[in-house]
Amino acid sequence: MNGESVVTDDGVEMRLAANGGRSVCAKNPGMFCRELKALELEDGDSMVRIAGSFDALSAKVRSACRIFVMGIYSLGPVKNNRESRRVAFNKMCRDYCASHADQFTFVDFDTIVPPKYLIDGMHFSRQGYFEIAQFILNAAHMSGPALAMKPLETNAA
């Protein structure tokens, strides 16, 4: 939910990454200011739009396709008191996936990746990403060599 929501002159809404909007504006401020107008959205409005994007995605893919929705890791350090936003976003995504479980799976980093695998406050170690991959492969009902890989380190405490 960080970033900037914008709308084009012809009504197309999009979300720019937190640093993406500044980058676009810096490279071509005339076009950015002329073509894109900022949308001021409350968190609740953003979440409604995100859920709407999930609906749109579902309508565009085959019903047999599994869609994975990635949560936000909330067990690490949080800047600017955003913990409540992370928790609210995860809850919205978790609830959406639960109510559309035939097609959507929530990838809950908080339950998949232990805090010891967070290496810089934002990224996971190789083992952390391995844990996420294992979860997704298992949820996708994959079998064979991909699941037979040995973990990079043991999970024993």
**CA dist., res. 1 & res. 92, Å (int):** 12
Mean pLDDT across the chain = 80
Is residue 25 one of the residues assigned to a domain?
A: yes
17's CB contacts (< 8 A; 6+ apart) are: 2, 3
Same domain as 70, residue 111: yes
Domain that holds residue 27: 1-40
Same domain as 103, residue 31: no
Is residue 94 one of the residues assigned to a domain?
A: yes
Is residue 153 one of the residues assigned to a domain?
A: no
Mean pLDDT of 48-68: 90
Dihedral angle over CA of 63, 46, 119, 116, nearest 10: -70
* Whether pLDDT at 154 is above 60: no
Same domain as 73, residue 10: no
pLDDT in tens, 88-145: 999 999 999 999 999 999 999 999 999 999 998 889 999 999 999 999 999 987 544 4
Token pair for 146: 């991909």
**CA dist., res. 134 & res. 152, Å (int):** 12
Number of domains in the chain: 2
**CA dist., res. 149 & res. 62, Å (int):** 30
DSSP state of 117: G
CATH value at residue 50:
3.40.50.1110
Token pair for 23: 């980058």
Is residue 15 one of the residues assigned to a domain?
A: yes
Same domain as 118, residue 60: yes
Same domain as 134, residue 88: yes
Same domain as 65, residue 96: yes
Contact 133, 113 (CB under 8 A): no
